[in-house]
Structure 1
């Protein structure tokens, strides 16, 4: 009986050794609008998450001590905050400023091998140059509308 009691006490005490710190908060822009899909990580670790549709986030980590919490989102400056992880729940809110990470250009590439319409595994529509000229299309969208 003593062994069972000591085993239960040991089990209860050992759960405290695996304490985790819960981190939560909200990410908004300078106008107070929530930013969904922003990245939140603890620098130098794999602990982190992304914000939900309302800009809220929550995650837990087993890291301890002073750490740097970083949030980033495309089109906004990256923001770092120091936090002390000691096993208690933390609430850290971020207000991101516009600017910072911008995409300079996007390059799309595609290739295709010649196949007849009968050999292709999908639907193909072709429009000859004379037909496009007759349409006097101003954009690719106008051409697509005439095919459909």
Structure 2
């Protein structure tokens, strides 16, 4: 639980950043309200991730990795992923179906995200993700996703760096 308190502090620091970023509307809803601090962290993290990639850098550990299916984005690639999405999207609707926090502060969740791209097309993806922390910073996101709706070209949108 001690690590989760670091997560809570991280989430509060993200709140300050998200207040200044209104580049795209990010609508977040939750079915599971049993972990309000984790929910707040997720909402604020996605707001920063999709709207303020330059601020995301401060929230990641030096050895951060995003693990997805059979691939890995290192810290630099994950920041590029955030920038690519920020530059190519008009909006996002994220619905968290389930959120849990284990005794070590690891957050696990299931969410569906509906994305509206700048070309007017849409993509819907479903994710299962785990968030790991070290010294109050996000150190790893381990996730699986599947394209529910959209062009087959969007099958990599959950990890795209270009």
TM-score by length of 1: 0.24
Structure with the higher helix share, 1 or 2: 2
With a CA cutoff of 8 Å and minimum separation of 6, indicate the structure with the bigger relative contact order: 2
TM-score by length of 2: 0.22
Q: Which has the larger strand fraction?
A: 2
Q: Which of the two has higher C-alpha Rg?
A: 1
